[in-house]
Structure formats: C-alpha cells, structure tokens
Amino acid sequence: MGKELTAGIIGAGRIGRLHADHLTRRVPGVRVKTISDVILDAAQNCARETGIPNAEEDASRIMEDEEIDFVVICSSTDTHAAFIKEAARVGKHIFCEKPIALDIGEIDQALEEVEKYGVKMMGGFNRRFDSNFARMQQLVSEGRIGEPHLLKITSRDPAPPPIEYIKVSGGIFLDMMIHDFDMARFLVGDEVKEVYANGAVKVDPEIGKAGDVDTAVVTLTFKNGVIGTIDNSRKAVYGYDQRAEVFGSGGMVDSENMSENRVHLATGGGISEDLPYYFFVERYTDAYIEEIRQFVDAVANDTPVPVTGLDGKYAVVLGWAATKSCREHRPVKLSEIDPGLE
C-alpha cells in the first residue's frame, strides 16, 4: 500500500453511514477528513459516531479541499452525475453508489468528464465482492463448468421500500434488479443483447398505483448464446433471498442463502434451520468492506478499478430495456435503448 489517502464522503444516509463506518474502522491506509449532507445533523451525527473530524452541509467544501484524494458519493441518485463531473474536474478519484444516474445521456456526460480528467471512477456493485459470487465467477471464468449455457438469479427483498421512494426510484428494474443485471454480466462474462421482462403486482396494490410492479421475471439473451433468468420480489417473508446458479456443458456452480449460523435442528417433526440474513446490510457487510478496500487499493497503487463506469452504464441500460419490455410485452434489444451498445 502506498501513501495514506484522504477521503471525503458525500451523503450521510443509510449507505453513506455504512461506508463511513468501514472507511474509518475497517480499511487501512485511509483517513476520512470530511462528510457532507444537505441535512447537516445527519453529517454531524455520522461524524461523531465514526470520528470523522469535519461535517459540512455543502459538498463543495470537499471538492475544494486539496488534501482530499477521493470522494465517496452516497447522496440521493439524482445528485450523482453532477458530483461525478465536479469531482473529476478537480482531479479527485470517485467511488459512486449505484446508479450513476437514471438518464443515459447524463451517465455518458459524467463518464466523458471522468475520461477527460483521467481520474478513477468505480461504481458501487457490492455483490461482486461477496465471497460466494466472487468464487462462482472465478470458477466460471476458469472454465470449470465448461461452456456456460444457463444462468439463474433469484433476488428477493424482505420488505418493499416506502411508496414515496418507489415513485422516484425508477421502478423495480432500475432500483432493485439493477444489482442482478450487474451480477448476470459478472457471472457470465459476456454482454446481454436482448431482454424480455414480465411483471405483476402481487405484494402491495399501492406499488401498482405508483406505476410500478413488485414481482418480476426477466429473461436475458447474451451475445454468446447463454440464456439467463432473474426473478425479483419486493417481499419474501423469510428474509433476503439471494441465490445464483450457472449451468454449463461441464457442470454447474451455485450459491445458497447465508444465515448467521450453519446449524440444523433435527427432531421427530422435521429438520429446520434459521432464516437467512434479513437484508443487504447484514448479508453483504463483508462484501461492502471488500468493495471499498479494493477501490482504495486501486487508487493507492494506480491500478484499474474492479467495477468501471461502463459497468454502471450497462446496468442502467438493462434496467431501461426491462422496463420497456415489461410495458410493451415484447423482447427489447439493448441497442433500442442505446444504439452505441450493439
């Protein structure tokens, strides 16, 4: 590891507090100097809890601070692209939570600035850093299951977010399935050419009234011929359901849910085990730490970041393709959303 790096965090909500905690306690070689939030109380509380010396209301205090090497953007989605552009212009490396933006044009502009100013930018797809999914990807890429034929991802949340959030989130395909689209590309190691989505309202009629679905299945056709399916539900009564499988000519890899222990209780009445972790914070703690550790490592050693801006763009394009497919009841090619992605 090279010299100690100095970080600034923008946004002290759910995910900002999580990264602040990890960067201050779990990742070596970093000093977090400032956290900002438009709700100053939120920034101050987080600073107090994690020992970050400065809390600011205005993120420009981070941008204009020459000591700060990189920014971690954890504010609301609609602010990401502007912060990326601003950070790039002042020569700061960038870690940005997903999605970069909901608008593809805005993503392109942000990525152009990153390219132009030669800073590093990594997108926040934490699941790639989960030890199970990372191992699956490694085995697939080493050819251990032969030629991949089929991919299956199951991804179900324990409870839906508030309706107010659903109205601005971009919908299930851009807010929730976006992680699974990235996982699909990661596990198969190839690009999707077409998606076919089907959705229903099964969990809460209010979600339907807000113009979204809460239950969905998407079929993906990859350029290399692999066929994939992803299923999402906003409500699994047994907890956070995160499973994946890749099947190929020479075998299969899969990974099951994680829970706090591996204990089975066997009695005359049956065999039981505890429920999976409740949600993403519990299930993916180690993955979030590894994700930000690898970003810091890439900045410190001037090596490529493991998740690129283009990865971030692909996930959003897939989200829009699935949204269109679901609305129009037909397969949609990625090139319909972005003609640049043939």
Ligand X SMILES: NC(=O)c1ccc[n+]([C@@H]2O[C@H](COP(=O)([O-])OP(=O)(O)OC[C@H]3O[C@@H](n4cnc5c(N)ncnc54)[C@H](O)[C@@H]3O)[C@@H](O)[C@H]2O)c1
User: Between residues 308 and 335, which has the closer beta carbon with respect to ligand X?
Assistant: 308
Per-residue b/e over 56-91, b at no fewer than 16 CB within 10 Å?
beebebbbebeebbbbbbbbebebbbbbbbbbbebe
Using CB under 6 A as the binding rule, whether residue 124 contacts ligand X is answered as: yes
Residues 125-144 that bind ligand X (CB under 6 A): 126
Chain residue at closest Cβ approach to ligand X:
13
Using CB under 6 A as the binding rule, whether residue 161 contacts ligand X is answered as: no
Residues 274-293 that bind ligand X (CB under 6 A): 280
> Which residues, other chains included, contact 229 with Cβ-Cβ below 8 Å and sequence gap of 6+?
151, 152, 153, 217, 218, 219, 220
User: Between residues 157 and 338, which has the closer beta carbon with respect to ligand X?
Assistant: 157
> CA–CA separation, 33 vs 37, rounded Å?
14
**Binding mask of the shown chain, residues 14 to 33, with x at each position contacting ligand X by CB under 6 A:** xxx-----------------
User: Between residues 42 and 121, which has the closer beta carbon with respect to ligand X?
Assistant: 42
Single residue of 26, 29, 38, 331 touching ligand X by CB under 6 A: 38
State in angstroms the smallest separation of the CB of 161 from ligand X: 9
Other beta carbons within 10 angstroms of residue 163's beta carbon come to 13
Q: Give the Å distances, CA to CA, from 342 to 186, 314, 329.
A: 19, 12, 22
- Burial bucket for residue 303 (CB in 10 Å: 0-12, 13-18, 19+): exposed
List the structure tokens of 244.
């994946």
Q: Give the Å distances, CA to CA, from 24 to 94, 230, 294.
A: 17, 35, 15
State in angstroms the smallest separation of the CB of 318 from ligand X: 16
User: Between residues 11 and 239, which has the closer beta carbon with respect to ligand X?
Assistant: 11
Single residue of 6, 13, 219, 259 touching ligand X by CB under 6 A: 13
User: Between residues 59 and 145, which has the closer beta carbon with respect to ligand X?
Assistant: 59
Other beta carbons within 10 angstroms of residue 224's beta carbon come to 13
State in angstroms the smallest separation of the CB of 97 from ligand X: 4
Residues in contact with ligand X by the rule CB under 6 A: 10-16, 36-39, 42, 59, 74-77, 79, 97-98, 124, 126, 280
